[in-house]
Structure 1
Amino acid sequence: MSSNEINQSLKLFIVLSRAYRAVNENVNKLIQSYGVNPTEFAVLELLYHKGEQPLQQIGGKILLASGSITYVVDKLEQKGLLNRVACPNDRRVTYAQISEEGKKFIEGVFPDHESKIHEIMSNLSVEEKDVLIDLLKKLGLSQV
């Protein structure tokens, strides 16, 4: 392994990190303008698109430490955007379920969210997006 290869890997890491930070900061500002934080938005989006979820599994699906889930779910429940539902078959399991108010909220903001992400990604052609998706999947899957 040459020093050029090592330097290229380091450069890729820096470019990838900066690109992620720039995109993420842009999207997070938009999410915060909706009156929720990015983690709350991620939980609502998950529940809206995938249906009710056991509290214990939400963290893994949105990349959040399990200890933080209770806090986020509490805040969303206080805002009336989700409900806790006891599992009828197993008292140890509680589900988070998006409320009607939560559905209205997501349906009201998601088109804007989707449009902003598309705008951020619009510097890339369809083909470039496909290549980048494939390459990033390859990189991510090689780390598992």
Structure 2
Amino acid sequence: MDQQNNRLKAFTVLMRASQSVQEASKSKHVKQGINPTEFAVLELLFHKGDQPIQAIGKKILIASSSITYVVDKLEEKQYVTRKACPTDRRVTYASITDEGKKLMEQIFPIHIEKIEEIFNELTDEEILILIDLLKKVGYNAKKL
């Protein structure tokens, strides 16, 4: 195989692997009535605390235009509330509720188990190599 074909194959394998990992990791929280984006927002708030709604998109890698919709849905489910910033009227924070924390305490350990299962074919050394290689590809793609 020539260099160009190897790069095309690497791209295809990366995209398919990414899709498979996403499918495998979302199965448990979807059963709880939340989609992967809602889970990502809850996970961020659960682990990092209140976040400015405007900043959430960058942190969980989704379009900022979608964040308001996602926060609305989580608010309807009573997993998140909005809080005004006391020092800047332009900023609104998303905050996880006790109900949201209870949900995450229930499903996050299951999520961790699933991630462990997904990567159990790799040694610790291979995982570190994979991280480095994916970062290298990601940073290069970001520069383009």
Q: TM-score range by the shorter chain?
A: over 0.9
Q: Please tell me the residue identity of whatever aligns with 1:45.
A: E
In structure 2, C-alpha distance between the alignment counterparts of 1:132 and 1:27, rounded to whole Å: 18
1:108 aligns with one of 99, 106, 109? 106
Unaligned runs of 5+ in 1: none
Unaligned runs of 5+ in 2: none
Q: Please tell me the residue identity of whatever aligns with 1:80.
A: Q
**C-alpha deviation, 1:31, in angstroms:** 2.0
The answer to whether residue 73 in structure 2 is matched with residue 72 in structure 1 is no
**C-alpha deviation, 1:115, in angstroms:** 0.4
In structure 2, C-alpha distance between the alignment counterparts of 1:50 and 1:33, rounded to whole Å: 24
SS at match of 2:93: strand
TM-score by length of 1: 0.94
SS at match of 1:85: strand
**C-alpha deviation, 1:30, in angstroms:** 2.1
Q: Deviations over 1:99-119 (max 9, x none)?
A: 111111101111111001100
SS at match of 2:82: strand
How many residues matched? 142
TM-score by length of 2: 0.94
The answer to whether residue 120 in structure 2 is matched with residue 122 in structure 1 is yes
Aligned CA-pair RMSD: 1.1
Aligned-residue identity in percent: 57
- Report if the CA contact (8 A) 2:81-2:97 is conserved: yes
The answer to whether residue 61 in structure 2 is matched with residue 37 in structure 1 is no
Quote the residue 2:16 is aligned against. 18
SS at match of 1:108: helix
Could you list the structure 1 runs, at least 4 aligned residues long, displaced by more than 6 angstroms after superposition.
none
Quote the residue 2:129 is aligned against. 131
Q: Deviations over 1:60-89 (max 9, x none)?
A: 111111111111101111111011000011
**C-alpha deviation, 1:16, in angstroms:** 0.8
- Report if the CA contact (8 A) 2:28-2:107 is conserved: no
**C-alpha deviation, 1:33, in angstroms:** 1.2
In structure 2, C-alpha distance between the alignment counterparts of 1:36 and 1:108, rounded to whole Å: 13
